[in-house]
Structure 1
Amino acid sequence: MTTTAPATRTDLPEDPLSLAHDYLRAVRVGESPTPYEAALRDLPRERLRAALGTDDARLAFWVNVYNATVQSVLGASPEAFEARNAFFTAPLVAVAGERLSVDDVEHGLLRGSRPKWGGGYVRNPFPSAFERTFRVRERDWRVHFALNCGAAACPPVAAYDADRIDAQLDLATESYLGQEVEYDPVADVVRVPRLMFWFVGDFGGRSGIRDALRAYDCVPEGADPTVRFQSYDWTLEAGTFAPVEAW
């Protein structure tokens, strides 16, 4: 059960990265997210700009904000997932005075202004000024294995830190692909998660997918299997967190 807490607190970190991390931790342990959401909303934009000076910082911050928001909303109102399009596009979070949907966070800020529909090959030519300022500069396809939208097919939620996010994303990718990829060497076919089809351009096309599978030992070096895409399990399964040691 979520405990009650005042909407404002004086003991929250001023650093945006720490604030986003603590917001996610609060959701995980059942603490009221309201003070953290208020602090994120009221962040001075210059403080956010100073904190998010690198892509590592931007990745850690926005992944934590995305996962905390999704888990907070679905934990309190699981019925919101029944109308998924409305859930993903509703302005559920405010950061530095900017109202954002989880789609805004994922596709605008974490994927560098690539719309949801377009396979990762199309870039939004008219992003907002906020998006242009705070989006990642270079896409990192591993982010798809760090985001949890509340569905059963999503990877578990962990907290990310700017100073070790490369290793953390490697771990998340290795774990998710190791569990989800199905390779049949006799038929020379590999079945991969559906999100690799939805965002195939993020991975560099099918050849890039094969490269990723080889890099994470899902198929042997030299293998060039046919890539097939699995279906996606949209069953609501909120509250799926990685083990504590992953935090």
Structure 2
Amino acid sequence: MTPTTPFLLTNDDGIDAPGLATLAEILGSRPWIQVAPQTEQSGCGHRVTVGQALAVEPRSAQAYGVAGTPADCVRLALSHLCPSVAWVLSGINAGGNLGIDTYLSGTVAAAREATFHGLPAIALSQYRKGSQPLIWANTGQWAAKALAVLLQEPLPPKTFWNVNLPHWQPGEPEPQLVFCQPSSDPLPLVYAATPQGYVYGGRYGDRLQSPHTDVAVCFGGNIAITQITL
């Protein structure tokens, strides 16, 4: 890595996840470095590791796997592995991070951690309808469309972008970029009682879709963009 590397790429699905590879492909010839968890850390929120060593596995001159959380990866990257980056891009997550998901998501936490340190950041997530497979080529196309705009868009201090891509299928209208507000509606509280305890069973697609929120925009087939303030 050179001191001029502009993009730090991370995620919470792990360094081998297809969404991270798709994000690197979008950047093309623009220099980047990946510092991402060695294993999936979905739903970890903004957890950080203290009191124990963070093992780092070099994958290449441009990629490091960290035995920690997404927030750990950003903290370690900015303090040690690549302190001169200009942007932090987190994702592309395999699953939506809409509304109050931003409090639960490791993907979003990585962007938030960057913002703590004064760097512009974008979290990107791909909403998935139930068990339907994702077509990463489509994801890359719509993510590139969003990045082309957001990398040029003024970003006030102490804020970052959260992008959610719709689960687009061939034949559907082309998704449009929609700047909107994050939903504050709760996720469905559905638990099944089992001999071992209670198992969460709320269906993501059953959440409320208040008008003009990111949930309604993304579920409606467009690219939901929210500006999150610390």
TM-score bracket, normalised by the shorter chain, equals under 0.3
Higher helix share: 1
Per the normalisation by structure 1, the TM-score is 0.26
Higher strand share: 2
User: Considering only CA atoms, is the larger Rg found in Structure 1 or Structure 2?
Assistant: 1
Per the normalisation by structure 2, the TM-score is 0.28
